[in-house]
Copies of this chain bind each other. A is one copy, B any other.
Amino acid sequence: MERLETLEAILERLRKSIREKGLKNSKQREEVLAVLYKSGTHLSPEEIAQQIKLADRGASLSSVYRLLAYLEQEGFISGLKTNHGGKRYEIASKLHHDHIICLECGEIIEFVDEEIERLQLEVAQKFGAKLISHDMRLFVKCEKCSS
C-alpha cells in the first residue's frame, strides 16, 4: 500500500505533538515509528522490538508496548486484532484499506473494493446516517492453508 508521507514528515508531526503535550521525546519512540514505516506491513510488538535491537541498541518489550499504545492513541499507527497470537500494528499513514485475515495461518492481505465502499455509503444514507469510517475484516482460509 502506498505511503502518503515521508518518514521525516511523520517524525516531524510526532515531535510537534510531543512538544505540545509537554512530553519528552526518545530515540525508542521514533524507532518504533520508523520500523513500522520501513516494514510497510503489520508487525507484532515482539517483532518490532527485534527490529529495533538490530538497528540500534534496542528497546525493551515493555517499552515497545507502552510506545505502541501511545502511538495508536495519537493516531500515528493503527492496531489490528488477529485470531492467531496478539495484536499487530501498522503505520497509519497509508491509503485506506480493509483486511483479509487467514484464520489458520494468520496471514493478512490488504485490499480495497470500490464497489463495497460505495455501497457502505449508501447503506448509511438509507438509515439517515452520515458515514464517518468503517472497519471490515474478512476471515478466510487462505490459498496456502487450503492445499
Contacts and interface: CB of A to CB of B under 8 A. Distances in A.
* Total copies of this chain within the assembly: 2
A138 B146 contact: no
Interface stretch (A34-42, A53-61, A110-118): A110-118
6 contacts: A111-B123, A113-B123, A116-B119, A116-B120, A128-B146, A132-B141
Contact of A142 (B123, B128, B141): B128
Interface in A115-147: 115-116, 119-120, 123-124, 127-143, 146
Contact of A140 (B116, B130, B139, B140): B130
A129 B116 contact: no
A145 B119 CA distance: 22
Interface in A89-113: 100, 102-103, 109, 111, 113
A109 B124 CA distance: 10
Q: Which of A103, A130, A140 has the most CB of B within 10 A?
A: A140
A136 B139 contact: no
The 7 nearest A-B residue pairs measured at CB = A128-B143, A129-B140, A136-B136, A130-B141, A129-B142, A134-B138, A133-B139
